[in-house]
Every structure is written in C-alpha cells, then in structure tokens.
Amino acid sequence: MLLASACGEDKDPLMTVGGSGMSGPSGGPSGDPSGGPSGDPSGPSSAGESTAGESTGAATTGEPTTGGDGADPFKTCQDYVNCIAVTTPNGLPDAQAGFGEGSACWSGTPADAELCGKACMTGLEQAHDMFPDEPACDPCNLGAVCTDTMGTFLLAIATPLGEEPFQFIVEGTLPVQDDGALSLTVRPLSLDMNAVTYPRQPVGQEYMWNDVPVAGGGFTIATGILTIPAEANPLFGVMVGVDAVMTGTVVSEDLFCGTVSGDVVLPVQQSIAGSTFAAVRVPSVGQLPTSVTIDCDGTTVSE
C-alpha cells in the first residue's frame, strides 16, 4: 500500500516524535492507520462510553470525522503536520516526509490518499490527548464533525436568600464546540436544613430543557415555574416555586455555569437577582463532591 511506502516498510515514519512520548500515526505493511493488520482505522472506544440507558458520568463523544467520510485527507494531514510543528518540532521533518505536500500520499490513488488522511486523523487524536490545550491539535477546532458530550452533573444554585445552595442532579448533553445545543434533564436533590451534603437523594418533579441554543458557548434557559419540594430546600424547609432565567456558558465538557435572575413566586414573591449557578460533571448521583461549586469563579461551599 502507498502508506507503507510513504511511511517506510514496517516502520513508523514519525518515530522521532515518539522521543517526546507520542508515537504519531503508524503505517504497517497492511496500511492500517492504527498499526493493526485489519485496516480498521477505528481505535478503542472512549473511557466514558455508555450503553443504552446507562451513563458512567465520564464524557462520551463520537469520533471526529476529519480524514474520512468525505473530509479532505490532504487538509487533515496538513493539520497534523502543523500540530507537530507546534508541539514536537523535532518530529517535523519526518511528518513532512511522510504526510506533507510532497509525500507519496498525494501521488497515488484516492484510496491511498484517504488512508493517509485516516492515519493523520489518528495522529491528531493522539496529539490532542497529549496536548489538550493546544488548539492546533484539536480535531474539533480544525473542522472535524464532533458529536456532543453526555454525562451526569451536579447543579448548584446559590441565592442571596441563604448560604446553602439548592442542588439538582442533571443528565445532560453539551455541545463540544462553541455553537450547537444543550439538553438537560433536571431533578432536585434532598437536603436537610442548613445542609450541603446530606442526604442528596432525587426528589420531586423532573424537568427537561431540550435543544437549548448555544452560540459562542453562551446560552439562556427560561425555566418556567420550577417547584422545589420542602425536602430539597436547605434554607427554609418549605416548598418553593421559582420562575428563573439562567444565563450561562459551556466552559468545558465538565462544567457549565453562570448567573440566575428571576423570582421566588411561591409561597411568597421574592427576587433572586444576584444568584449564581454551576454544574460540574460527576460520576453518578451516588458519588457527589463534598465541596460544591456554585459559580464560574470556582467558589465552593461545604458543611
């Protein structure tokens, strides 16, 4: 296969990159970008992968499609070479020789070019794992079609009414890019009077906010009347009805946060202007943090 000749027989052309701890895309004689004999470019599933009806709390995302499914393999390999130039420049000559503009990847058949694109996609994913804060190595920033991330979150809303926040368990889907939509299923958690961590069991009605537009990472949710049962009210121990607007930002796949405006409408009307919220990814409702984040600044409260 062409990839073998471009990469060298039974040898990874980017092994010099491995001196920095990254192997780069491999190309055995079979042309398998993952180095195996079958030619299957797919790698192992995400650690956060869940089966139907079961969520692990870890991020679950679909694979990016750059380098396949109609994407431009040449652009994918350009992105990979640019990533190497930024992160491991000692490996740049080999990256250029194996996948650059003058390499054999682009002088063969379209199938050969596609194979090189898949290998470069594998390299980008490996580089992103090693350098998660480097945008030049993030496939989702480079035009890949990335699916949303799903998980379980602890949502805390802190109000001027008292020190202890109201808390909710959330099953959510967040966009992995700045624009998209989020969908949340929210249910209050029980709290003893003046408590932050106990007993925190789901109670009361479940609320669903689906397909909320996200633009530039920002979103707004008008909750409508949200009923918080007495057993989920750590401030007064009575049922309250809240009509709120949450204005927030998806900070990462593990955090969204912002401010809350609106009013308590039952049993009496009272403004909650100046409230904040934060939703932090958790493994499950049975594994909640003892320090609860309440805003985008990372402020926490505990017992």
Range(s) of the chain covered by CATH 2.40.160: 149-301
Determine the pLDDT at residue 162: 95
Q: Given this model, what pLDDT does residue 25 score?
A: 56
User: What's the confidence (pLDDT) of residue 266?
Assistant: 94
74-88 tens-digit pLDDT: 999 999 999 999 999
Whole-number pLDDT of residue 17: 37
Is the pTM of the predicted complex or chain greater than 0.75?
no
Below-70 pLDDT ranges, the chain: 1-70, 145, 147
* 98, two tokens: 């194996």
Report, at the CATH architecture level, how domain 149-301 is classified. Beta Barrel (2.40)
pLDDT at 215: 94
User: For 75-122, how does the pLDDT look when each residue is reduced to its tens digit (9 = 90+)?
Assistant: 999 999 999 999 999 999 999 999 999 999 999 999 999 999 999 999
Question: Which pair of structure tokens corresponds to residue 68?
Answer: 């396949």
